[in-house]
């Protein structure tokens, strides 16, 4: 097998989002029905601040409760989503749904995809009741968040049925995003840190090993023959727990069976298409690599981790012979 071969193992981390209710006056379903919820048996007017797509998704999410409110909230309700320039009778909509970049100030939630007050029969409604929905989610996820927040408007809590809609923590998908392999730089931040572990390197070879790593880092910092993306920086740090990239020598690894190097890549998949969108950590494994060949392997794997190999590796990392890799291969 070619010693230059790169084997990548991907760990995809999906994003977990939560919904929340900003006001909580818990009343059970029978009590709500008896005292009459402010929206019970009413046609609720809804103003939507968002795009045409977002307005349509809001209407679709609200339609769920027109069919299911009597079962789960104890009363019937209808929703009428207003047109962009429409003013309801009375001048004020009952509910205002606003699509925002970030949902803030929503109870104790650290991060939420939506926020709405939980209304019940004893709640005084200051019209419009404000609902916030995070924009940029996929269609199905947007509908689900609208359903969840509308459930709060109808008096339901995170413990209530249907749990498919009302449970607190959900994994949602964003709109399609470029995969890491399609980005000029597959990281959120262009200032990257590298930690270097001794791993399986014998004690008497560690000074030479460290020099090899520095030789590779110097090549990358100098631009690697113009292949490093613009404004990308690489800084060596001591703590592997906080580093973006970790270099670790080892005698064996699952990512390859012969001597050489490979990388274990962790990243996020917010659009849930099965491919990493951005890297969060890369571990470069030097599997039984000779100390004097360390720099060549580290440089090649670093450039791959930085996205610099999208248009091909620079010549020194392609054409170097066995002997050249063990010398001053980049001059």
> In this predicted structure, what is the pLDDT of residue 97?
97
> In this predicted structure, what is the pLDDT of residue 242?
96
Predicted confidence (pLDDT) per residue in 38-54, tens digit: 999 999 999 999 999 99
Q: How far apart are CA 93 and CA 126, in angstroms?
A: 10
Angle between helices 206-221 and 294-306 (to 10 degrees): 40
Ordered structural domains, the chain, with CATH: 16-171 (3.40.390), 179-325 (3.40.390)
CA distances from 262 to 7, 137, 221, 228 (A): 5, 34, 21, 19
Q: What is the secondary structure of 254-279 as a DSSP string?
A: TTBSSSEEEEEEEEE-TT-SSS-SEE
The beta strands (E) that lie in the chain are given as: 8-13, 16-21, 43-49, 78-81, 95-100, 112-116, 129-134, 169-171, 191-196, 233-237, 245-250, 260-268, 278-287
Q: How far apart are CA 120 and CA 24, in angstroms?
A: 9
Predicted confidence (pLDDT) per residue in 198-216, tens digit: 988 999 999 999 999 999 9
Per-residue pLDDT tens digits of the chain, which is 331 residues long: 333 333 332 222 233 233 444 443 434 444 444 578 999 999 999 999 999 999 999 999 999 999 999 999 999 999 999 999 898 888 899 999 999 999 987 765 556 899 999 998 887 778 899 999 999 999 999 999 999 999 999 999 999 999 999 998 888 999 999 999 999 999 999 999 999 999 889 999 999 999 999 999 999 999 999 999 889 999 999 999 999 999 999 988 888 888 899 999 999 999 989 999 999 999 999 999 999 999 999 999 999 999 887 678 888 898 889 999 999 988 6
Tokens at 208, concatenated: 């030479």
Predicted confidence (pLDDT) per residue in 184-194, tens digit: 999 999 999 99
Strand duo 78-81 + 112-116: pairing:
unpaired
> In this predicted structure, what is the pLDDT of residue 108?
59
């Amino acid at each position: 097998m070619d010693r230059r071969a790169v084997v990548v193992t991907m760990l995809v981390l999906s994003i977990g989002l939560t919904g929340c209710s900003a006001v909580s006056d818990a009343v059970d379903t029978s009590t709500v029905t008896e005292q009459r919820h402010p929206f019970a048996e009413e046609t609720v007017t809804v103003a939507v601040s968002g795009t045409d797509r977002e307005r349509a998704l809001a209407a679709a999410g609200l339609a769920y409760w027109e069919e299911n409110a009597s079962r789960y909230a104890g009363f019937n309700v209808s929703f009428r989503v207003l047109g962009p320039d429409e003013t309801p009778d009375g001048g004020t909509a009952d509910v205002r749904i606003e699509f925002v970049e970030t949902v803030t100030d929503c109870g104790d939630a650290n991060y939420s995809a939506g926020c709405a007050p939980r209304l019940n029969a004893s709640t005084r409604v200051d019209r419009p009741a404000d609902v916030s929905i995070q924009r940029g989610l996929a269609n199905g996820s947007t509908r689900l968040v609208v359903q969840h927040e509308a459930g709060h408007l109808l008096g339901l809590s995170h413990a209530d049925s249907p749990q498919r809609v009302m449970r607190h923590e959900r994994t949602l998908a964003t709109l399609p995003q470029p995969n890491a392999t399609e980005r000029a730089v597959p990281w959120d931040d262009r200032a990257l840190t590298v930690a270097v572990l001794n791993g399986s390197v014998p004690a008497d070879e560690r000074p030479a090993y460290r020099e090899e790593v520095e030789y590779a880092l110097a090549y990358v910092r100098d631009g690697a023959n113009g292949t490093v993306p613009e404004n990308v920086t690489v800084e060596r740090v001591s703590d592997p727990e906080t580093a973006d990239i970790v270099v670790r020598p080892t005698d064996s690894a699952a990512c390859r069976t012969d001597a050489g190097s490979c990388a274990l890549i962790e990243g996020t998949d917010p659009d849930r298409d099965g491919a990493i969108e951005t890297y969060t950590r890369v571990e470069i494994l030097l599997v039984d690599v000779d100390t004097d060949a360390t720099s060549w392997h580290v440089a090649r794997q670093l450039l791959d981790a930085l996205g610099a190999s999208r248009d091909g590796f620079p010549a020194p990392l392609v054409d170097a012979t066995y002997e050249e890799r063990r010398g001053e291969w980049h001059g």
